[in-house]
Amino acid sequence: MKPIQIDGSFGEGGGQVLRTSLALAALTGRHLEIDNIRAGRKKPGLRPQHLTAVRAVAALCAAECQGAELGSRRLAFRPGGPPAGGEYCFDVAEAARGGSAGSTTLIAQAVLWPLTFAGRSSRLTLRGGTHVPWSPPFHYLRDVVLAAASEMGLRAAATLKSWGWYPVGGGEVELVVHPAGRLAGLQLAEPGELLRVTGEAVVTNLPAHIPQRMADRARRLLEREGVVSDVKPLRKRGPSAGAGIFLTAHYLNGPAGFSALGRRGKPSEEVAEEACAALLNHHRSGAAVDRHLADQLVLPLALAAGDSLLATSQISQHTLTNVHVIGQFIDAEIKVEQRGPRGIIRITGTGFHV
């Protein structure tokens, strides 16, 4: 059988093409050849977190790789067997020269679904960045992605062992995944009632007044809009200084997540305002699924049994890219209906099982 040829410059032209391709190659056993890796990025080719994802998925399915090195724009990936559960440890620093804050949650994206269909349970230690720009923070993985996917039959849990901020990294996440056998579809047309908003305003190695100011500002902004929240200020220790706020909106039909990160010179109140604005914009849209969750659910729903529907506040380029890549591997039917920024995604899954 000929390898599946993927153009890494398609759509958003970033790491999403690579992660989705790796996960589906591992699940289907199809050989993969991907060119123009991350061609749409300022620094194209495999960066430390992408190389770590390649090595991680390769370890799960005993794959042979060509081009698995920093900066490579082409990869040949040949699975040697179905995904195997077990104990694994993947450290982004091992793929970097001098350490890295490469995202642990993006590595989790690549391995989560192959391990869901493995023959036994898995326990992974992922080291690197846990709360870094341009990737979902740990809180989003735990409180939104895993929570929403549990309704499909996913049996997984994530634990934060150590905080890792940009640019130092050094964080650690433990991910436990149990075999699901087969996933069920989801019908998320309406969010249902907003039950509550929870959150954490967190710093490591910084003064305690900073998380307090973030939490107070977030509570006041949400209260002004009639939204009751419980945002806790937390001061932690870690390998480096860092700050951020992480909010989860708990709707009757599922969660949505919003966050903002601090940086030197950025007022604490501005960090809180950024996250609250994203939450309130989503809430006003009346959509059931935030734009990042739609992106992350398309792949498992394409593997699930039966029909699914996602009403999302925004059809992102990441989502459209995922839809395209999925279609190169499996015969799931995916229809995207854009209605301004909002959209409806209808999926008839394959009922994949090992």
CA distances from 143 to 148, 200, 204 (A): 8, 12, 21
Q: Does 347 score more than 80 pLDDT?
A: yes
**Given the residues 50, 178, 318, 324, the one annotated as active site:** 318
Q: Residue 5, Cα to own-chain centre: how many angstroms?
A: 24
Radius of gyration of the chain, Cα coordinates, nearest whole angstrom:
19
- pLDDT band at residue 227, thresholds of 50, 70 and 90? very high
CA angle 114, 115, 116 (to 5 degrees): 90
- pLDDT band at residue 87, thresholds of 50, 70 and 90? very high
pLDDT tens digits, 127-148: 999 999 999 999 999 999 999 9
Q: Is 318 a catalytic residue?
A: yes
Q: Does 308 score more than 80 pLDDT?
A: yes
- The answer to whether the beta carbons of residues 199 and 229 sit under 8 Å apart is yes
- The answer to whether the beta carbons of residues 124 and 175 sit under 8 Å apart is yes
Q: Does 78 score more than 80 pLDDT?
A: yes
Helix orientation angle between 291-303 and 104-116, rounded to the nearest 10 degrees: 20
pLDDT tens digits, 26-56: 999 999 999 999 998 989 999 999 999 999 9
pLDDT tens digits, 163-199: 999 999 999 999 999 999 899 999 999 999 999 999 9
Domains of the chain: 4-187+289-348 (3.65.10.20), 191-285 (3.30.360.20)
For residue 93, the cross-strand partners are none
Percent of the chain with pLDDT over 90: 94
What gap in Å lies between CA 26 and CA 324, rounded to an integer?
A: 18
